[in-house]
Amino acid sequence: MERVGRVSVFLLCVALTLFIFSFCVTSVNAGTTTDRPQWMDSSIAKLKGELVSKSGEAQRERVARGLDQVAQFWRSEDGRAEEFETFVRGNFAGDQATLDAMFDRFEALLEQIDGHMLEVSLACRRQSDLDLGPIMPFDEVFAGWDPSAHVLDDFFQNKLAFIALLNFPLTTLEQRLNEGDKWTRRQWAEVRLAQRFSKRIPAEVNQAIAQAGAVSDQYISEYNVWMHHLLNDKGERLFPAKLRLLSHWNLRDELKAQYANAEGGLERQKMIQLVMERIVDQTIPDVVIDNPHVDWNPFTNEVSRAAVEDSDELAPPDMKISNAREPDTRYRILLENFLAVKKVDPYSPTAPTHIARRFDEDREIPEERVREMFEQILTSPLVPKIAALIGERLGRPLEPFDIWYNGFRPQSKQTGAELDQIVRKRYPTADAYDKDMPNLLTALGFSKDRALYLADNIIVEPARGSGHAWGAGMREARSRLRTRVGKDGMDYKGFNIAVHEMGHNVEQTISLNNVDHTLLQGVPNTAFTEAIAFLFQANDLKLLGLQSADPKSEAMKVLNDFWGTYEISGVALIDMALWHWMYDHPNAKPAELKEATIQISKDIWNKYYATVFNKKDVALLGVYSHIIHSFLYLPDYPLGHLIALQIEEQVKKGGTVGSEVERMTVLGNVTPDVWMKNATGRPVGAEAMLAATERSLEELAKAKK
């Protein structure tokens, strides 16, 4: 989803999979919250003796582990002692041939289940995800329905989950971190298989999360600002007619694009900053949101009936024009998401918060280690050096919005408008992009056959929101590349995003279709798929035939990456602090959460940015839409930049994007450090970026002399 105008390589996108919140919950060795039946211990003692004497002494450890794992989840409603014993006797795989057959069947069928569930879900979300006209109330109900919500429940009920738990190992994060690089591929696949059943979350909880997610997605995807209707103090319109920008992505990207506007850019950037701040503190008038029928002066906050019309729709006859502020809806939505995922806590005893599940399970890097990596960047002595360079290049003191400075990007010779024209001509429709994909992939270094194969496995569709990539869940299905295509064709922003999303889709396709075990489908965590998407996105101008690499532009790119990581690391820390705040204040009201967000945003600004920008108490970074609708996803972006840089350095050494992405993505879903050591020889860390940035500063200094 994450997923637009991105004139920037820091396009924040969300690569989606169905399993994040539902079926494929990864977890450490979870127990259950229910009481253990009284007969359990004596049944286990009896079965241990029986199974070991039947299967042999070599199976003793597996027998004990399997019985223990089943007992952790067995509730009285699952059956009495006799049923438990019959179940265990009938389903323990005591020899390798039986175990192999069981493993193969689970692997093949889970792929089918995941894949088909996802296809059903995407069909139901089609109207709300794609740019296909109005969303009716029933469309929202379809979009909010998660067909996989009951699968895990069903698997406990029909005891398939218990069969997996009886035969395959649950592991702790510690084991995966300490022992994982010695495991065989089959062992890893068995670990991932068992992990699917490491929680027993009621279906209604998963359903509540899916519903809250759908509501917040829609709130964010319709949060547009009609820029031609912003007035300055002289009553002037600074932005062109019909320019409708989605918060925060398009607002930020327009702000970036204005660096190229030497005459009026600064005034426009200041206006955009103000709009963003009013979104954060909710002083934005409710009536201006996604409404082309009112004019708004964000400085005075005055609202009036639009003096010019630039939309095709008529103003609703009952439209009330007032500057009554948005009633903290932003924070109500965030709270509802929080309360929905918090319902999982009692069913996840070893990762009892959403925060722990995100870090220990989804990312498989402990939160503390992630925070340390971000702080290494935020407090680096390289920051003031780069800030001074930016000030020098801008010829003025830095403003807070220069956190989005994009001037290190090797400047193309074309203006934004020219780029738009080039892209529109090339891609008048989503279909035109679709047809060109084999050429784009070949240009990135994929072989001709593979480019055709990959393109064949990716469907391009016009997104309603900012664009996103949905991976498939089974090998016979295809992944979806969604991007915004205007009536006049795809613009440069849309192209930039499409290339980013295409990176996700390529990763998704290879790591599903070409990995040795579908149980290891995917990447260690979303930061890795973002890293690969960034790798593609960084080549967008090259793909348009507009730019070739040279040492100076390489150095500029690294500084651009560093500055983006510096920016998004702070945003990620806000996201992390907010989730801790919500856990500390579970009964908070939206207004209180708003105040907390403003305060946390300012605190983090004051700690890491205020001296660099020479301004205190700025809440601007709280504008990110992900904070509201992405369930603590933001830390994946700075991690993604760090990981991306590690991978990029490897690509420079190893060959083309195509050949290295092919090699790396077949590793699949192992822990981040195992993946990274295989891919580059080193674990995940900030060191590669810091070293590359220092080199790049030296390179630029040399070039100056």
**Min. distance of Cβ 504 from Zn ion in angstroms?**
6
Nearer to Zn ion, 510 or 533 (CB): 533
**Min. distance of Cβ 500 from Zn ion in angstroms?**
6
Nearer to Zn ion, 228 or 464 (CB): 464
Residue 361 found at the interface with Zn ion (CB under 5 A): no
Torsion of CA 664, 668, 670, 674, to 10 degrees: -10
**Min. distance of Cβ 163 from Zn ion in angstroms?**
37
Nearer to Zn ion, 2 or 364 (CB): 2
How many residues sit close enough to Zn ion to count as binding (CB under 5 A)?
A: 4
Q: Are 9 and 258 in contact (CB under 8 A)?
A: no
> Pattern of binders to Zn ion over 260-299, x per CB under 5 A?
----------------------------------------
Stretch that binds Zn ion, among 13-21, 341-349, 557-565, 651-659 (CB under 5 A): 13-21
Residue 506 found at the interface with Zn ion (CB under 5 A): no
Give the torsion sign (CA, 468, 435, 479, 129): positive
Q: CA 545 to CA 529: how far, in whole Å?
A: 25
3-state secondary structure of 494: helix
Nearer to Zn ion, 102 or 510 (CB): 510
DSSP count for the chain of H helices, then E strands: 30, 8
Stretch that binds Zn ion, among 7-15, 61-69, 77-85, 207-215 (CB under 5 A): 7-15
**Min. distance of Cβ 122 from Zn ion in angstroms?**
18
Nearer to Zn ion, 214 or 498 (CB): 498
Q: Exposed, middle or buried: residue 603 (CB in 10 Å: 0-12, 13-18, 19+)?
A: middle
Q: CA 447 to CA 453: how far, in whole Å?
A: 10
User: Which positions ≥6 away from 7 have C-beta within 8 Å?
Assistant: 253, 256, 257, 406, 409, 416, 492, 493, 496
Residue 2 found at the interface with Zn ion (CB under 5 A): yes
**Min. distance of Cβ 530 from Zn ion in angstroms?**
5
Nearer to Zn ion, 465 or 590 (CB): 465
Stretch that binds Zn ion, among 9-17, 433-441, 481-489, 559-567 (CB under 5 A): 9-17
Residues 582-621, interacting with Zn ion (CB under 5 A): none
Nearer to Zn ion, 13 or 152 (CB): 13
Q: CA 289 to CA 325: how far, in whole Å?
A: 10
User: Which positions ≥6 away from 182 have C-beta within 8 Å?
Assistant: none
Residues 564-583, interacting with Zn ion (CB under 5 A): none
Residue of 641, 471, 390 whose CA lies nearest to 122 = 471
**Min. distance of Cβ 626 from Zn ion in angstroms?**
11
Residues 28-57, interacting with Zn ion (CB under 5 A): none
3-state secondary structure of 343: coil
Residue of 504, 505, 495, 506 whose CA lies nearest to 428 = 495
Residues 520-549, interacting with Zn ion (CB under 5 A): 530, 533
Nearest residue relative to Zn ion (C-beta): 13
Q: CA 355 to CA 358: how far, in whole Å?
A: 5
Nearer to Zn ion, 602 or 626 (CB): 626
Q: Residue 294 pairs with which residues in a beta bridge?
A: 305
Identity of residue 630: S
Nearer to Zn ion, 211 or 630 (CB): 630
Q: Give the distance from CA 53 to its chain's centroid.
A: 50
Report the Cα–Cα distance between both ends of the chain, in Å, rounded.
43
Q: CA 587 to CA 195: how far, in whole Å?
A: 32
Tokens 């919950």 locate to 25
**Min. distance of Cβ 571 from Zn ion in angstroms?**
15
Nearer to Zn ion, 2 or 190 (CB): 2
Residue 13 found at the interface with Zn ion (CB under 5 A): yes
**Min. distance of Cβ 503 from Zn ion in angstroms?**
8
Nearer to Zn ion, 13 or 189 (CB): 13
Stretch that binds Zn ion, among 5-13, 217-225, 473-481, 592-600 (CB under 5 A): 5-13
Stretch that binds Zn ion, among 11-19, 70-78, 108-116, 587-595 (CB under 5 A): 11-19
Q: Are 257 and 306 in contact (CB under 8 A)?
A: no
Q: CA 328 to CA 597: how far, in whole Å?
A: 12
**Min. distance of Cβ 15 from Zn ion in angstroms?**
5
For β-strands 224-226 and 15-16, DSSP reports them as unpaired
Identity of residue 207: Q
Residue 161 found at the interface with Zn ion (CB under 5 A): no
Interface positions with Zn ion (CB under 5 A): 2, 13, 530, 533
